[in-house]
Amino acid sequence: MASITLNSGFKMPIIGLGVWRMEGKDIKDLLINAIKIGYRHFDCAADYQNETEVGEALAEAFKTGLVKREDLFITTKLWNSDHGHVVEACKASLKKLQLDYLDLFLIHFPIATKHTGIGTTASALDADGVLEIDTTISLETTWHAMEETVSMGLVRSIGISNYDIFLTRDCLAYSKIKPAVNQIETHPYFQRESLVKFCQKHGIAITAHTPLGGSVANTEWFGSVSCLDDPEFKSLAEKYKKTVAQVILRWGIQRNTIIIPKSSKQERLEENFKVFDFELSNEDMEFIKSKDRKYRTNNPAKFWGLDLYA
């Protein structure tokens, strides 16, 4: 499995499976099948409310000898409401996942919100339906608590998610342990070249969430348009005798980003993994580069009553 070596010295597989919006009851079969296909990297989060089911699936995979713990790379994320309770939240996630350590622990969003109890992730809203933001905890304080999880041996690498250049630069300045990863939305319609290059220049690996532009899930939740339906990408895929998804994921890999496509379908899990047997030409990489629309599909404003990216 191809991997990127993080600034922490650990290797991270360049393709993983995101478990966002996966139903608890389906997770065991999906994860076991994914491991059989060859997936070794799983992207979780407290907010996805399925760490317990993921933990049960992993425990079964270990028990049956399908895979060893050290062969897997498991990421989870600190939710906004636990910024003041980082170590406790980390331990709670580990307990649900039935793991002794995390490979990667990320700050899910660069915002602290009203604490509602460890691991509870329903966002507290005020009387006007607007997110209750906590203005007493700085991201620097949160980061130093993330560093503590490393020194305690709970976590191997720590990182950030949904951080822009300003916040990432700030984190580099105040951190003792540098962020290993910034997980952001990026795909051909939302390339964010400046942010990607800035992070890579400073030794921070980029994980692309929503690497296919969100497809069905984001169309349903956010009314967005997916690059999978782009006729020009369809003809490009025909040229390589691959699917549009495979071409787009390959583009992500050739940009040196880590990709975590999500799928609940067995055939898609297999398709998304078959991206190592071909290479896009420089001309085709440039062509895809020209298709940027600066188009964000994943915007939680719908749930939070305010647009954090405004």
Residue with tokens 């907010």: 47
Instruction: Count CB-CB contacts under 10 A for residue 1.
Output: 14
Asked if 211 and 248 touch (Cβ cutoff 8 Å), the reply is yes
DSSP 8-state symbol, 202: T
Q: What is the DSSP string of 70-99?
A: GG-EEEEEE-GGGTT-HHHHHHHHHHHHT-
Ranges of H-type helices in 109-222: 139-151, 165-174, 193-201, 215-222
Tell me which residues are annotated as active site: 48
Q: Is 55 exposed, middle or buried (0-12, 13-18, 19+ CB in 10 A)?
A: buried
Strand segments, DSSP code E, in the chain are 3-5, 11-13, 17-18, 41-43, 73-78, 102-107, 155-161, 181-185, 205-209, 258-259
How far apart are the C-alpha atoms of 60 and 134, rounded to whole Å? Answer: 39
Taking alpha carbons only, the member of 95, 16, 43, 78 closest to residue 258 is 16
| Amino acid residing at 310 | A
How far apart are the C-alpha atoms of 146 and 159, rounded to whole Å? Answer: 9
Q: How many residues does the chain have?
A: 310
How far apart are the C-alpha atoms of 122 and 303, rounded to whole Å? Answer: 10
Annotated ligand binding at 202? The verdict is: no
Q: Annotated binding residues for substrate, as ranges?
A: 108
Q: Annotated binding residues, as ranges?
A: 108
